A and B are shown apart, each in its own frame.
Chain A
Amino acid sequence: MSLLRVANLGKAFRSYRREWHRFARWAGLPMAPGEETWVLRHVSFEAHHGRAIGIIGQNGAGKSTLLKIITGTLHPTEGHVEVNGRIAAILELGMGFHPELTGRQNARHAAGLMGFTADEIEAAMPSIEEFAEIGEYFDEPLRTYSSGMQMRLAFSVATAWRPDILIVDEALSVGDSYFQHKSFDRIRKFKEEGTVLLFVSHGMQEVKELCDRVVLLDKGRVIKDGLPDEVVDYYNALIAEKQAAGATIRQQRTEKGWMQTRSGSGEARIASVKLLDAGTGVEVATARVGQKLCLVAEVEIRAPIPRLVMGYMLRDRVGHVVWGTNTWHTRQVVENLAPGDRVTYELHFTCSLGPGSYSFSTALHENNAHMESNYEWVDNVCVFDVINTDKHHFIGCNHLQKHIHINYIRNAG
C-alpha cells in the first residue's frame, strides 16, 4: 500500500478583475477568474513504506508549493493528494514559538498545534527534553536561547512522534554539526521503520545519499523522475544549460549502470577519453592501488572560442566527490582556438584510491566555473574499478601514504 499518492496535481493562483467576482464565485455564480497562473501542473508520484524521495529544482520551480499542498496548507486546483497516515513537516522550525514562554511551554504549545492531546504530550515530554539536550534551559524562557538551541527544541518536538510521512525542507541545514548528525540519524531511523521521506534540498550530496528516488521540478512540471545519480546529474547539466541556450542534454546508461550525461553549447566537445597505464600506455579498465595512470582526453573544437578550460571531477560509486580541479586553477588556459583544432589533455596521477568503482566527469568551459559558457559537460565519461593486489589491506576511498611506527618496552621482570 502506498502511503502517499500524488495524482495529476496542479495549482493555479487566480486573480480576479474585481475582487467581488471571487465572492460571487463562492455564492455559486459562474465567474471566470481574470487570470490563472499555474505554478504546478501534472505532477504525479507515489511513495511506499520506507522510501525517500528527493525533490529538487531551482528557485520558483514549484517545490514549496508542492510541499505545501502535500502538507495541507494549500489546496490543489486540480488533481488530488492521497495520504494514508500522519504527516509531519519540518518546513520552518520554531513556527508559533513564543519568546516569553519556556522551552517546555513552547514544546507543549507546538505539539498541540500538531494536534496532540494533553496526555500524549505529557507522555512524550521526557523524550523531547532528552533529545533536545539543552539541559537547564528547557525550563527557561525562549528569548534566552541561542538560535541553535531553538532549532534543537523545534526539531525535537517536530519529530517526537514518528510520522508516516516526513517532509524535510532545508530548515534542517542549520544548527551545529553534532545536532545535524543526530537529527539525520533520527530521520534515517524513521525511514527504516517505514516512514516515507520527502526531502527538499539544494544540497545535491545529501539528496544522493539519502534518497532512493529524485523528482526534478522545473517551472511547475516534473521534467525528470528517476534514480538519484541520473536526476542530479541531469539537474547539474540543466543549471549549466541555462546560460547556453539551444544546447541539448543527452543521457544514456553505460553497460555498467553508470549514467552518462552530456550537456552544453557544443563549441568544444570531448572526442575521446582513455584511461591508460602511464608506463606501458595500455588502456586499463581495472586499476591497481598505487598504479601510475594517465587520463587522456581529446577535445575537438567546433566553433571559434576565446579560451578553453578543462575541468575534472573524480567521484565514487555513491557520487561523493573524491577530487576535482580545472586548468583555470592550474593556470593552463588555452586561448584563441578555431574550428578543427584539437587539444589533448593528459592527466597524470597515481591511483591512491581505495578499492571500489570510480568515475571521471569532465567539463569544458570558458572561465573558472562551468556555470557560464559551458561548452560541454560530460558526467561519468570514464568509469574504472580499483582493486588492491599488492598493498596491505585497508578500507576507505583513499590509500593514505602511511608509516606506522611502534615503540614498546618489554617488562624485564
Chain B
Amino acid sequence: MLAMLRALWRYRYFVWSSIRNELVSRFLRSRLGGLWMIIHPLAQVAIYALILSNVLAAKLPGISNKYAYSIYLMAGLAAWTLFTDILGRCVNLFVDQGNLMKKMAFPRITLPAIAVGSCLVNNLLLLAAMALIFLLLGHGFGWAVLWIPPLLILLTAFSLGIGLILGVVNVFVRDVGQAVPILLQIWFWFTPIVYPATIIPEPFRKWLVLNPIYPFVAAYQQVLVYSRTPDPATISIVGVAAAGLLLLALLLFRRAAPELVDVL
C-alpha cells in the first residue's frame, strides 16, 4: 500500500499535467478558453436560482429567503454532483484507458488519481459559482461553512471507494458500467435533494438511514442552507465508513491490478 502511494508521489508531475491537459484541452480551441470552466457552473446555478425560485416559490421551513428552495437544491446538488462525477469516471476508467495500460508501464494508481483530481477541480469551481450566486441573492454563510472542506474530503473518499470497486469489477463484468447510470438515476430520486426530507411520510422516513449518500447531502444542506454544524456523531460514522471503504477499494485494486490488463 505504501509502495502504491510512493509511486503516486513519484508520478505526481504526470498526474498534475494530466489533470491540467484534460481541463485545458477541453476549451483549447474556444475563444473564451478557460472562462468556460467558470461559465458552465455559473449558468447552471443561475438557472436553478432564478427560474426555479420563480416557478416553484415554495418556502422551506425555517428560512425566509425567496430563493430558499433553489439554495436548498444547489446545496444538495453540490454533494450529489461530486459523488456521481467521481463514480461515473471511475466505473469506466480502466476500460477507457485499456489501450494505454496495455502498452505503457506506469503506476496504475495514477489513473484514479487523475480522475479524482479533475472531478475535484470541477466541483470546486461549481462551489465557487454557488457561493457567488448565493451572496448575490443575499444569502450569507456562517462559520459552519468551514465544514465544507472536511465534508468534501470524506465525500471524495467515499465516492472513490465505491467508484474504484465498481471500476475494477466493470473490467471483468461489463454489465456494471451499463447498470450504474440507471441505478444512479433511481438513487437520485430516493435522496432528498429535489425535495425536503420532511415530505417523506413518517413511516418511511426511517429508511433514509439506509441511504449512504444521504448523510453527506444532509450535511451539505445543513451547512450551506441553515449555516448549522452537521451532527458530529453522524459525520464520524460516515467518516469511518468512507475511510474503510476507500481502504477496501485500494486493497481490491492492488489485488486486481495484475489481472486487469489480461482481460482488457
Contact = CB atoms under 8 A, between A and B. Distances in A.
Interface of A: 13-14, 19, 22-23, 26, 68, 71-75, 87, 89, 91-92, 95-96, 98, 100-101, 105, 108-109, 112-118, 121, 141
B171 to A, nearest CB: 10
B100 interface: yes
A22 B13 contact: no
B206 interface: no
Interface residues of B, number: 29
A19 B173 contact: yes
Given A109-B21, A115-B106, A26 B14 contact: no
Interface in B7-26: 10-11, 13-14, 17-18, 21, 24-25
A13 B18 contact: no
Q: Is the interface of A mostly helix, strand, loop or mixed?
A: mixed
A73 B105 CA distance: 5
A19 B18 CA distance: 33
B252 A115 contact: no
B104 A96 contact: yes
Contacts of A91: 103-104
Interface in B71-107: 99-106
B247 interface: no
Given A100-B25, A101-B25, A115-B106, A73 B101 contact: yes
Interface centre among B11, B101, B104, B262 (most CB of A within 10 A): B104
Nearest to A99: B25
A113 B106 contact: yes
B184 interface: no
A108 B11 contact: no
Interface of B: 10-11, 13-14, 17-18, 21, 24-25, 28-29, 99-106, 169, 172-173, 252, 255-256, 258-259, 261-262
Given A22-B172, A23-B169, A73-B261, A113 B104 contact: yes
B6 to A, nearest CB: 12
B103 A73 contact: yes
B21 A71 contact: no
Nearest to A119: B13
Nearest to B22: A98
Contact of B105 (A22, A87, A118): A87
B25 A95 contact: no
Contacts of B252: 26
Contacts of A115: 10-11, 14, 106
Nearest to B27: A100
A116 B14 CA distance: 8
A118 B12 CA distance: 9
A115 B10 CA distance: 7
Given A95-B100, A115-B14, A118-B13, A72 B105 contact: yes
A82 B16 CA distance: 31
A19 B256 CA distance: 13
Nearest to A28: B255
B174 to A, nearest CB: 10
B13 A117 contact: yes
Q: Which of B13, B106, B172, B173 gathers most chain A CB within 10 Å?
A: B13
